[in-house]
Structure 1
Amino acid sequence: MTNDWSEYQAWVALGNTPAPAHTLAELIDAALKALADRRWRAETGGVSVNGSPVATDDRSQAKLVGACLAATLDASYSIQWKIADRGFVTLDRDQIIAIAQAVRTHVQGCFDREAALAEEIQAAPDEQALATIDIEGGWPSWA
């Protein structure tokens, strides 16, 4: 059995130094990166509009913007829209706008949550305070 402390002292005597611990700034940066990833997962996790699941990934958001713009410009506009795994449905102008608004509300809610948590993270005075910030809870859900 070896003596770890003696080995450590011998290692230091050879001119070695332990790697510095992460600074608070590095820990905050890592927490902000994790937070951005968590927001993205919430944002793209989908919503439910009138009981139908609606995708909220970037591509779906862009298509909804186009459909909403067309519906805004043409009161008689309707489209065939694929609702997640349930196939195609015909949506009229009002339904398109309602879905787009629900998705926009969901996405903005995710960014609002990220902003609030980012403020908490950046204000953390030490590692202990930073560790108490829960980035998993409080996200908009599509229930």
Structure 2
Amino acid sequence: MSAMSYSIAIDISGAERRDFVRRDADGARIPIDADTADGRVYREWLAMGNAPTPLPAPTLAEAKREKRAALAERRWRAETAGATVLGMRMSTDERTQGKLTAAVVASVLDNSYAVNWKLADGTFVTFDHATLIAVAQGVRAHVQSCFDREAQLVVAIEAAQDMAALAAIDIDSACPV
């Protein structure tokens, strides 16, 4: 069995990550301070006098790929975080979006259709045809704004000429939620 080894992770700015190391055998991210089996093994490995080796800083292309992946995850969190529509707090997760679409289809097929809808706070309201359409449009607008912002930031990521420009793109404060 080969000896265990770990590498220090480097972020896109070239700074050392202090929250995890990479286990070289499988590339797994091991939380440094977490009370997990992997974290304990890593700390025992350190206590035996071992030290992780630094990974080279990622290339600009690798850093852009990582930033796009982080942006997609951030967009998903914003998309599914909920939205206020017509003064009501609506869930916006994928299941709710699907159920809302089905209710709109039923409403389009029968304009007298009404549905009891559970809001994000757990209360129920009745949506008639017009309200259901307006709520669906509001939720859809929220979801689309998240994708639109992601698309804008992807353009900025791709246009970044160096690591400093890439690091300056703040994907957290720029998202709708």
Structure 1 length-normalised TM? 0.82
Structure 2 residue matching 1:85: 3-state secondary structure? coil
Distance 2:55 2:99 in 1: 50
Question: Which amino acid is 2:135 matched to?
Answer: I
**Structure 2 equivalent of residue 138 of structure 1:** 174
1:67 lines up with 2:114 in the alignment: no
Are 1:50 and 2:86 matched, yes or no?
A: yes
CA RMSD of aligned residues (A): 1.6
CA distance in 1, matches of 2:156, 2:174: 14
What SS does the aligned partner of 2:161 have? coil
Number of the residue aligned with 1:113: 149
Residue identity matched to 2:116: Q
Q: Is the 8 A contact 2:114 2:127 kept in 1?
A: yes
Runs of 4+ in 1 over 3 A off after TM superposition: none
Counterparts of residues 90-129 of structure 1 (less than 5 Å)? 90-129=126-165
Distance of 1:60 and 1:21 partners within structure 2: 41
The question of 1:39 aligning with 2:75 is answered yes
Q: Give the drift of 1:19.
A: 4.6
Mapped partners of 2:175, 2:64: distance in 1:
20
Confirm whether residue 20 of structure 1 aligns to residue 56 of structure 2. Answer: yes
The one of the two structures with greater contact order (alpha-carbon pairs below 8 A, sep at least 6) is 1
Q: Quick check: 2:74–2:175 contact (8 Å CA) kept in 1?
A: no
Structure 1 residues not aligned, in runs of 5+: 1-17
Aligned equivalents of 1:123 and 1:39: distance in 2? 19
Aligned length: 125
* Structure 2 gap ranges (5+): 1-53
**Displacement, 1:58?**
0.4
Q: What SS does structure 1 have at the residue aligned with 2:126?
A: strand
Q: Is the 8 A contact 2:157 2:166 kept in 1?
A: yes
Change in 2 beyond 3 A, CA 1:58/1:19 = closer
Q: Is 1:79 aligned with 2:115? A: yes
